[in-house]
Amino acid sequence: MIRSRVLSFMLMFAVLAAFTGACAAGDTDAPAAVDSAVTEASAAEGALAQPAVPVQPDADAAIPTSSSEAVVEEAVPAEDDPGSAPPDAAVPEPVDSDSDAEAPAPAAEIDTASADADLEPAEATLDSASAEVEAPPVPEDGGPAAASVDPASVPVEGDPLQPGAPDEAVSFALPPGYEVGNPATHPLAIERLRGLSYPGSDLVVVQELPAGSNYSRSVATYQSDGLTIRGLLTIPNGERPPTGWPVVIFNHGYIPPAQYRTTERYVAYQDAFARAGYITYKSDYRGHGSSEGESGSSRGTPDYTVDVMNALASVERHPDSDPERIGMWGHSMGGLVTLKSMVISDRIKAGVIWAGVVASYPDLYNRLGRSDQPSSGSQDRSGRRGWRTELVELFGPPEENAAGWDAVSPNAHLAAISGPLQLHHGTADSSVPVIYSTRLQEQMEAAGRPSETFVYEGDDHNLAGNLSTALARSVEFFDRHVKGGG
């Protein structure tokens, strides 16, 4: 009996040790490790039970694993078929979520024949010399660059409206001075954001990186809400123009904050503008990578917009920049940040948005162009309230309080937008419905503000099939409206 108990304890500890070790090492096939431990412990039990009879191992016997058990990987949304990941991509990149969505929704279908005249399909790819993308991803430690990556295969971002990211999971503290029943004092209210101060700070270079073809690259920090935020800074080589170099502020889409690295993703995109003679700066946002603070939500808090506004002020202070010639580029979640920034500040001369989450807050609430519906209840899976729940509790649903929802929606403030917009969207975007961009085009026209929209037939969330064309159009747009003759 003593021998039996000893053997039982041996088996139990072997299984526990194998499972703990597999989890600590990040082994995704923990069940196989446990099966292996059970096999070894059972063999030991046999040896103890019959100590006088040597057991000859079977050379043909394999460690048992269950063929029906797939390797467990971190659950992330699909990347809408953007192509193969670059060499430095360890995991796919989802984007900011609606955690109450049960499944990815199909992209909204539009009748391209009846679309606005400005909505034109992609043209043939432009001369590669005018839109060549050459800068490969650079390791965080500034070491040797990885092999060049075909820009058409670089997945930039996944789905900002799928489960998997925290955008529905928001419970922010209302600031002092908020008046219940007065939407203009809400943390997201455009009028309130216009009244805040965004002093930024001097940019401090903390890491020099390998140079691009005709520009320098570095990691530089700035201050936002008392937090130190990192970002990727590029400065053109050559003689500084009399008024300084024009600037493009880059607003990236959702990447899981713990996986985010300053020198990864969007490198090819940022390179196109850097080589065209622009200072570029891509803020990490708070809580991303090595930046201080806690990550949050692009729709439920103003935090990322505040960080970008402080980045804008910081770049304006740089001695090589021209504060009178600043444009802003945003992708997906970063498109919403761009739109908000341009109705808050009058210092942004023009904006370019790719596959932007730029629907109005009422349309986002009602899931315009999406087939998925909210799950029942007012909490997400973590038990935190979502931004929809927060706003309904304060304002009521959009159909009952349009003024309240308009107060937080940048689309209701387009008459005050600081400059023209250029919008890009693919019809096969399974992450953000193309109707978000086409409706914003209509809203800009109704507000009497200049805007142009390019719809790319059959292209995805990252415009992988028309990357050179979209980049060339974006550079040309900034050349017209930002660079000018300065």
Distance (Å, rounded) from C-alpha 272 to C-alpha 465? 17
With b meaning 16 or more CB within 10 Å and e meaning fewer, what string describes 424-448? bbbbbbbbbbbbbbbbbbebbeeee
Note down pLDDT in tens along the chain; length 486 residues: 444 443 444 444 444 444 444 444 444 344 344 344 434 433 333 333 333 333 333 333 332 323 322 222 222 233 332 222 332 333 333 333 333 332 333 333 333 333 332 323 333 333 333 333 333 333 343 333 333 434 433 444 545 655 444 444 444 455 456 687 788 998 899 999 999 999 999 999 999 999 999 999 999 999 999 999 999 999 999 999 999 999 999 999 999 998 999 998 898 899 999 999 999 999 999 999 999 999 988 888 899 999 999 999 999 999 999 999 999 999 999 999 999 999 999 999 999 999 999 999 999 998 888 776 554 344 433 344 688 888 888 888 999 999 999 999 999 999 999 999 999 999 999 999 999 999 999 999 999 999 999 999 999 999 999 999 999 999 999 999 999 844
Which distant-in-sequence residues (6+ apart) come within 8 Å of 24 by Cβ? Answer: none
Q: What is the pLDDT of residue 425?
A: 98
**Residue 367 to residues 85, 98, 162, 348, Cα–Cα distance (Å):** 29, 10, 12, 29
Distance (Å, rounded) from C-alpha 88 to C-alpha 73? 18
Burial of 143 (0-12, 13-18, 19+ CB in 10 A): exposed
Quote the longest CA-to-CA distance of the chain. 94
Distance (Å, rounded) from C-alpha 233 to C-alpha 254? 19
8 A C-beta contact, residue 191 and residue 184: yes
Structure token digits, residue 108: 């909204």
Distance (Å, rounded) from C-alpha 461 to C-alpha 468? 15
Distance (Å, rounded) from C-alpha 372 to C-alpha 77? 14
- pTM, to two decimals: 0.67
Q: For residue 451, give the H/E element and its range.
A: strand 451-456
Structure token digits, residue 440: 């914003």
Nearest residue to 348 via CA among 339, 336, 357: 339
Distance (Å, rounded) from C-alpha 460 to C-alpha 320? 36
Structure token digits, residue 76: 């992330």
Which amino acid, one-letter code, is at 337? V
**Residue 227 to residues 156, 234, 440, Cα–Cα distance (Å):** 26, 22, 33
Structure token digits, residue 132: 């060549």
DSSP per-residue string spanning 302-327: SHHHHHHHHHHHHHHTSTTEEEEEEE
Q: For residue 224, give the H/E element and its range.
A: strand 215-224
Nearest residue to 257 via CA among 287, 227, 221: 287
Distance (Å, rounded) from C-alpha 207 to C-alpha 186? 38
Q: What is the pLDDT of residue 390?
A: 82
Query: Alpha carbon 5 to chain centroid distance?
Result: 55
Nearest residue to 442 via CA among 355, 344, 360, 357: 360
Place of tokens 């935090």: 303
Task: Decide: helix, strand or coil at residue 229.
Answer: strand
Task: State the architecture of 112-483 in CATH terms.
Answer: 3-Layer(aba) Sandwich (3.40)
Q: Where are the domains of the chain?
A: 1-73, 112-483
